[in-house]
Structure 1
Amino acid sequence: MDTKAVFTALYDVCEENAAFFSGATKGQSGDAAQRLVDAMTIIQEHARSLEPVISGFAAIYHHFDFDPHVPANGYRSLVKVVRCCLLHIIHKGRYISSNRRSIFFRASHNASEMEAYCSALCQLRALLYLAQRLLHDNSHGNLFFQEESGLSQSFLREYASMHKGCFYGRCVGFQFTPAIRPCLQSIAISLVAFGDNYKKHQSGIGVAASSFLTSGKYAIDPELRGQEYERITQNLDVHFWKTFWNVTETEVLSSLVSLTATTVKVNRALSVPPVAFDLPLAADPTRTVTLCPPAAHLGPGPVQMRLISHELREGQDSEKLLALCRSEGGPITISLGLKTKRSPPSPWLVLHFHGGGFVAQTSKSHEPYLRSWSHDLNAPVLSVDYSLAPEAPFPRALEECFYAYCWAIKNHNLLGWTGERVCLAGDSAGGNLCVTVSMRAAAHGVRMPDGIVAAYPATLLTVYASPSRLLSLMDPLLPLSVLSRCLSAYAGTDPQVEKQVEKVSTLSMVKRDASLLLRDFKQGASNWIHSLLDRGSAGTCI
């Protein structure tokens, strides 16, 4: 259905329903009928304003595609989201037309549905006007507006003024495939119920248990759920999100998940002591560079990892590796004994960095799919439990992940790996660490990874406005305010002044984080170049 056909269908169904309910007799459903008429009328007004805007974007958005074979960019996404909203309204309007004479028709419920999508359409209209300004003010062909003043400030002010509750109530996930909407609704209900009980119990599992008992009211009242979701995402600090995301780390829930996960023969938590070691330079293997252990903020300390392997491979039950194992209070899950068959080392190793916004989760919460990876890829997986912000801000996590990468290369014989090929994998914050670890490897002159699998990584930590970033203003899982708090914690913002640096200043701290990151890479590159030029300084610690 093309754009003109979508708007024509919308006008027709709204006009027809408005005419019907305008003639409804006064009675028990009289107020609901008037609400339906008002909602249909306002939807038409928004649509008439949006139609030329949508047509304008449809005429030019192909110029911003990556190439003819990848028809995707932020302007396309914005138009698609608006179309999804319009199609939902058309579908609901046709349902009302077909069932409005039935004795089972609930006029009040359907009025609430139309009002919710009317509110969503109003907010999308505001986003499209901001996208129009971005298109007009930006230099030709650029998606990002690379100034923090002007449009980028408008971007943040728009977020502050938006009524975002409509995107988290009845309309939650409308822009995604219908199959995922129940999951998003469940997450939204869990989140607001958890927020309702936050700080009433000392343990995360206690809050989760109470949340289960109080979640019913948010399931039956989508408007209340949307209001609470907006309040939580706008006001609660990063410690709330750390607690919420870490619910899956509790022993009860992780044990339940493990029952259905793929069985593996090796699943051991490791604690690698902070000891400096040498690695050969990629450009000249006869020369080495010394890698020092992580030391930022917390001082030198061990790096925590988890080794998962579907098969017991040579080296994985060696005394040297077992000496690094740390107890997690559960049974030993590594196959031991002289009669146990040991498979030869794998040519591949997957080095995994978990997500969690730099502030939450560990390898344990990601363990189910890591087990599947080890089985499907027939390769060991080493997942790094890096230190988390705000207690350990940048660059501690990067230091630990880079140290783990170099340690794995140095000690491949302990991991059931030949040392031939290594792939970095991570999601969200872990995707960022995949990229930055690779950059640090290049800066230090050591071996680069053979591949990177970075799922939705955080890569551009600036306040620059772009059309795709407008969509973060209504994201059902990680809206802009939550993302800002996580990045501020990673950047080292003082939590006591967190509320004072909300919105614009919070994201300004992210710019400082990016500057520190670039400075760190430049310093590493300088050290690498000097090590190549100075033949007598091969043992310098970096």
Structure 2
Amino acid sequence: MIYKGCNDRMASDDIYDLLSPLLDDCMALFQKEDSKTSHSFVQSLKSIHNNAIHIRPIAIGLVGKVAHKYDASPHIKANGYRSLLALLDSLCHLIVGHLQTICRERKNVFFRANQYSDKLRVLAQNLHQMRALFGYAQILIGHSEDGSLFATEQESDDIMHDCEIMAKSCFYSHVQGFQFYPGIQPIIQALSMFTASYNDIVQHSTVWQTTKSLFNSGKYVVSPSVRGRQIEKIYSEAEAPFFKAFFSLPEMGVGVLLPNLVGDTVRVNRIFNLPPKVFELETTEGHMVEINRTSCIGHGRHVKARLISAVLREGQDSPDSPSIPDMGLDKSKVLLKAKHKPRSKTLLFFCHGGGFIALTSKSYEVVLREWSKELDCPIFSVDYSLAPDAPFPEAFEECFYAYAWALKNAELLGTTAEKVIFAGDSAGGNLVLSVAMRAAAYGIKIPDAMLVMYPSAVVRYSASPSRLLAVMDPLLPHCMLCSCLCAYTGFKTEKVAYNTTEHKLSPTDGNVDNDGDHTESWSTASTSGDLVEAHFKIKLANNFSPLKSRYFGERTKVHHTALVKNPYISPALAPDEMLRSLPYLDIVGCELDPLFDDSVTLARRLHKIGHQHQFHVVRGLPHGFLSLQMCRETKEASKMCLELLKSKILGSAV
């Protein structure tokens, strides 16, 4: 599961050699029959055959030959183009497996033709949309500056626009999460069912309507097609407040008790409220530098943080500490006879993920408890202010202030801070990178090593090969990616309204024929007033178009500013001298993550300047696996991250 780099995995000649005769065999089975279901089989088989013929030369001939130019390093074969190839490989194997099952079970008296036909239709639609993504990837190769994985702004806008109006329900229905390991697929599907039900429930204000919606939510379990359409509809309309509320649910109600029930026992779990005071901190050269909290933010808010320690150490129960026990229970106070252990030489400074808009350290408490126990050191996790109420630079400034405060008051955290390790995932990875560069600029102690997991290191809404994966990603779709990045950066956005007066299913319900004669999945009536007709801007080869969504009432057009090049907002774009100021760096990226190219770009920059780092690529897991400790594969990935931290504390590879 965890490996140094991607193999040259793609839909190889072997899989095509299997696919072609299977298509012929299935075609022979159903062409003889005259029924609606048989016609559906035939149409899906023709679609798969046609799209496979056209996608093969793009995947193997073009993208496959240039992918190595964008690798993280000569030894780490990983980038978004290779991720697309791996995705196509998974889809083709899934299609072959389904066709083999159809051929084997066709004569069985219990053969459920409608179910097999529905799944084959969805697979055909998946391959059709994948062909469009490969067409966009082909365009990206010619519109990236200086070998960058990210396209120029104009080309990005056109590609992201087309991705947003593509039909996506096929990715969220029968085969949702097919690109990931089987162990996590049920978890992803369950999350989608809950998302669909949650959206229904929050739209009603009365108890009766809410209860009715709750009972009706069973349809999302029974019918994958209904669930797929509902998820597509939600993702076409949702904005930052929806995602903020949804992902904050685990921190509400009985969810706050979960760490005490399933997490490791810790002696210290305290919430800190750091006052906005000015203080001086000694630099590495012996000078004093002023840390001015008030001027950083201007609102005079306290900075919140959490201290977790498996054992009670000297200073952690000091009356001078600006902290209170979490949930009113602190075992350092209950166990009065507990012996204080000496202060740890190490401090782990952690920033949580959540797209800059959601979550707190509470959502990571189970993981942090385990880490504190296994690493035998206290963990100081910052609960920074969230966007859009607190856009950049507030979260960044708060994290920097919290780090400087921790160095100044290390004894209150039960540490001497002789060794400091930074860790963060997703948005938190962005923040610890930025804080480390700011620490170097101030001349104060920089961390001795860092671990960033699937970081958001290029904060701009731009097209890259891995960002194309957001079309089908169940946890990080385009709308969420856009909402989070815009909320944090404060980019100006413009709502473009599309005409949605008449959306009808086409007679083929999304099936497609040969090029130039295919039917889009949804048709749109002519526009009126200020409404804009939704159409694809990119002209793909052979007059090919993706299937169009029925849900695109309006689109958010993002207007980037010079802020995208600010090194503290997009660390992967920082000048060489700022990147050189970073300590040894472990980067963990997920091959199938829409943000994978962020990690690759950072690793490429570090390799180019000869900076010591290691890039670890995780296969088959989604963005945010650290918060999904519910299957063997995610637990293994989390354990790998823990082992990386252990190696840094013990001093190896630093």
Question: Do they fold alike, i.e. is TM over 0.5?
Answer: yes
Distance 1:70 1:63, change over 3 A: same
8 Å CA contact retained: 1:268, 1:334: no
Matched, 1:400 2:398: yes
Match status 1:190 vs 2:194: yes
TM-superposition CA deviations, 1:305-343 (whole Å, max 9, x none)? 11110000111111112xx22365533343456521111
Distance 1:500 1:295 in 2: 40
Q: Please tell me whether residue 160 in structure 1 is matched to residue 169 in structure 2.
A: no
Offset of residue 295 of structure 1: 5.2
**Higher percent of residues as strand:** 2
- Structure with greater proportional helix content: 1
For 2:41 and 2:17, how far apart are their aligned partners in 1? Answer: 19
1:505 equivalenced with 2:503 (yes/no): no
* Residues 194 and 208 in structure 1, CA contact (< 8 A), matched pair in contact too: no
Q: How far has the Cα of 1:72 moved from its partner?
A: 1.4
Aligned AA for 1:237?
E
Contact 2:459–2:570 (CA<8 Å) still a contact in 1?
A: no
Separation (CA, whole Å) in 1 of partners of 2:400 and 2:15: 51
Whether 1:9 aligns to 2:18 is yes
Question: Any conservation in 1 of the 2:235–2:479 contact (CA below 8 Å)?
Answer: yes
What is aligned with 1:232? 234
What is the CA deviation profile of residues 66-115 of structure 1, one whole-angstrom value per residue up to 9, with x for unaligned ones?
Answer: 33431212211111111211110000000111111112111000101011
* Equivalent residue number for residue 290 of structure 1: 290
2-structure distance, mates of 1:312, 1:202: 48
RMSD, matched Cα = 2.8
Q: Look up the equivalent residue of 2:272 and give its one-letter code.
A: L
Q: CA deviation at 1:39?
A: 0.7
Q: Deviations over 1:276-305 (max 9, x none)?
A: 1111122x21x1111011556661121111
Instruction: Sort the Cα spacing of 1:429 and 1:510 in 2 relative to 1 into closer, same or farther, 3 A.
Output: farther
Q: Identify the residue that residue 314 of structure 2 maps to in structure 1.
A: 314
Q: d(CA) in 1 for partners of 2:327 and 2:185?
A: 37
User: CA 1:390 to 1:137, structure 2 compared with 1: closer, same or farther past 3 Å?
Assistant: closer
Give the deviation of 1:251 after TM superposition. Answer: 3.2
Summarize deviations over 1:335-394 as a string: whole Å, max 9, x none: 456521111111111111111111111111110110000001011111111111111111
CA contact (8 A) 1:310 1:375 kept: yes
Q: 2:253 aligns with which of 251, 254, 276?
A: 251
Q: Does the residue aligned with 1:279 lie in a helix, a strand or coil?
A: strand
When structure 1 is superposed on structure 2, of 184-193 and 2-11 the one drifting more is: 2-11
Number of residue equivalences: 509
Q: For 1:260-409, what aligned pairs fall within 5 Å after superposition?
A: 260-282=262-284, 284-285=285-286, 287-294=287-294, 299-321=299-321, 324-326=322-324, 329-336=327-334, 339-409=337-407
**Structure possessing the higher relative contact order (Cα contacts under 8 Å, 6 or more residues apart):** 2
Q: Hey, what's the Cα distance between the residues in 1 that align with 2:371 and 2:496?
A: 41
Q: Which of 31, 35, 45 is residue 36 of structure 2 equivalent to?
A: 31
Cα displacement (A) at 1:469: 1.9
> Which one-letter code corresponds to 2:288 in the other structure?
T
Cα–Cα, structure 1 residues 443 and 211, in superposed 2: closer, same or farther, change >3 Å?
Answer: farther
Q: Please identify, of 63-72 and 511-520, the stretch whose mean Cα deviation from structure 2 is larger.
A: 511-520
1:450 CA displacement:
1.2
Q: Distance in 1 between matches of 2:113 and 2:246?
A: 37
Question: Equivalents in 1 of 2:279, 2:411: separation in Å?
Answer: 16
1:164-243 residue pairs with structure 2 within 5 A? 164-200=168-204, 213-243=215-245
**What corresponds to 1:74 in structure 2?**
80
Q: Which letter maps to 1:174?
A: F
Shift of 1:430: 0.8
- Aligned-partner residue type, residue 505 of structure 1: K
Q: How far 1:18 moved relative to its partner?
A: 1.4
Against the structure 1 CA distance between its residues 153 and 213, is the aligned structure 2 distance closer, same or farther, given a 3 Å change threshold? same
TM-score, scaled relative to structure 1: 0.87
1:423 is displaced (CA, Å) by: 1.1
* Equivalent position amino acid for 1:152 in 2: S
AA at the equivalent of 2:315: G
Query: Residue 319 and residue 231 in structure 1: after superposition, are their counterparts in 2 closer, same or farther (change >3 A)?
Result: same
TM-superposed CA distance for 1:462, in Å, is 2.4
CA positional deviation for 1:517: 4.6
Provide the C-alpha distance between the structure 1 equivalents of 2:74 and 2:296, rounded to a whole number of angstroms. 45
Which residue type is aligned with residue 291 of structure 2?
Answer: L
Contact 1:463 1:511 in 2 (8 A): no
**Percent identity of the aligned residues?**
37
CA contact (8 A) 1:294 1:400 kept: no
Task: State the match for 1:112 in structure 2.
Answer: 118
Matched to 2:449, the amino acid is: G
| 8 Å CA contact 1:194, 1:207 repeated in 2 | no
- For 1:104 and 1:31, the matched residues in 2 are separated by 18
